[in-house]
Every structure is written in C-alpha cells, then in structure tokens.
A = this chain, B = another copy of it.
Amino acid sequence: MQTGPEADEPCLRADAARNRARLLEAAARLIAEHGVAGVTMEAVAAAANVGKGTVFRRFGDRTGLLTALLDHSAKRLQADFLSGPPPLGPGSPPLERLRAFGTAVLHRTAEQLDLQLAAQPEPTRRFTHPAFGSLHMHTTVLLRQIVPGADCELLAHTLLASLDPALIHHLTRQRGMPMERLEAGWLDLVARVTGTDRPR
C-alpha cells in the first residue's frame, strides 16, 4: 500500500523530483488560469522556466503530463484520507470520515473538472484504474465499520458513482446545480445508505 505521495518512485533523485514537482505546479497554475486547453508542453516549460526538452523528457507527451498531474493530486488526496488530520484522516468516527471523504472528493473534482474529464479512461478501465481502486478500498473499509452486515463492496461503488466526474460535470455545468446541493446530496445519500441521521 502507498504511504505517501512519492512512494512509487523511491529512486528518483532529489533534484529530479524537485524539477518534476515544479513542472506539475506550473501545469496546475496554467489549468487554473486558462483551463486544460492552456496546458501545452511549451507553456509548461515557459512557466517553469526550463527548456521544452526537459518537459518532453520527463512526461513524454501532453497526455503523460496530464496523467502525471492527476496522479500527483490523487496521491495527495490518498495521503490525506489515509494519514492526514481528522475528520478526513484517522481519529474521527468512520461515519464522519465518510462524510468528509465525499465532500473532499466533490471539491477536488469540481476544481479539476476539465482535467479529470479529459483523462477519463475507457469504460472498460474506469474501475480498474489504481486511483479508483484506492478510493473504493477506503470507502469499503469505512462502510464495513458503519454497516457491517451490508454488501459494502457494492455500496461503495454506488457511493463513488455519485461522485463520478462525468456526473458532477453534468449536474454543475449542464444542469446548473450549485455545489452546495451536491454536498447536501452526498450527506443525505450517506445517511440513507448507512441508516444514520443526517449531520446537524
């Protein structure tokens, strides 16, 4: 199991790792300012003040860069819910952690909506992607503590499906729903699925 953001790259030299982080931060800034369309290899190189060749050597192509950006953010979220402060991390009751988890995923997805949509895997790989596996495992583990008798593996899929980037895109951009309604919907869904009270 992963324990930190860079646990899969133990051999990356420190300066290369710093370089990589700088490029990813530059790419994230470009997306925040200009949307996903603003992220070109050239723009990232310019924003990070390195040569274009460095960006290509590090990420291969634009898809590789966008994928690395999502992986980076997914590992941060994973670190937050596995070992960060409560209520998302350990220390809060599982029901509170589950509520905080969905709210955190909702906000992360809303912030990265274009990026996540652009990187959506094929239908046959949506649920085998390691980042999804980590979210599903965490949700299942929390559910097993809240509703031990239930089919928690299936219920976790249902809960996560309500946080699907394509659905969030549809609800917020195509149906014009405010994020507050989606957050309230998550808390209501958790209450219904677990048979618990809504938070005050």
Q: Residues of A with Cβ closer than 8 Å to B?
A: 117, 120, 123-124, 126-128, 150-151, 154-155, 157-158, 161-162, 164-167, 169-171, 174, 181-182, 184-185, 188-189, 192-193, 195
The copy count of this chain in the complex is 2
Cβ contact within 8 Å between A171 and B158: no
Do A167 and B174 contact each other (CB < 8 Å), given the known contacts A181-B154, A185-B151?
A: no
CA distance A182 to B174 in the complex (A): 30
Please measure, in the bound complex, the distance between the C-alpha atom of A195 and the C-alpha atom of B195, giving whole angstroms.
8
How far apart are the CA atoms of A115 and B128 in the complex, in Å? 20
- Could you tell me if A127 and B174 are in contact, using CB atoms closer than 8 angstroms? yes
| Bound-complex Cα distance A120 to B125 (A) | 13
Nearest to A123 among chain B residues (CB) is: B166
* Residues from chain B with Cβ under 8 Å of A123 in the complex: 117, 120, 165-166, 169
- The smallest C-beta distance from A158 to any residue of chain B, in angstroms, reads 5
**When chains A and B are docked, how far (Å) is the Cα of A107 from the Cα of B56?**
47
Chain B residues with CB under 8 A of A195: 192
- Distance of A50 from chain B, by nearest CB (Å): 32
Q: A158-B189, A188-B150 are in contact. Are A126 and B166 (CB under 8 A)?
A: yes
22 inter-chain pairs at a CB distance below 8 angstroms, sorted by A residue, are A117-B123, A117-B124, A123-B166, A124-B166, A124-B170, A124-B174, A126-B170, A150-B188, A154-B162, A154-B181, A154-B185, A154-B188, A154-B189, A155-B185, A155-B189, A157-B167, A158-B158, A158-B162, A158-B189, A161-B162, A161-B167, A193-B193
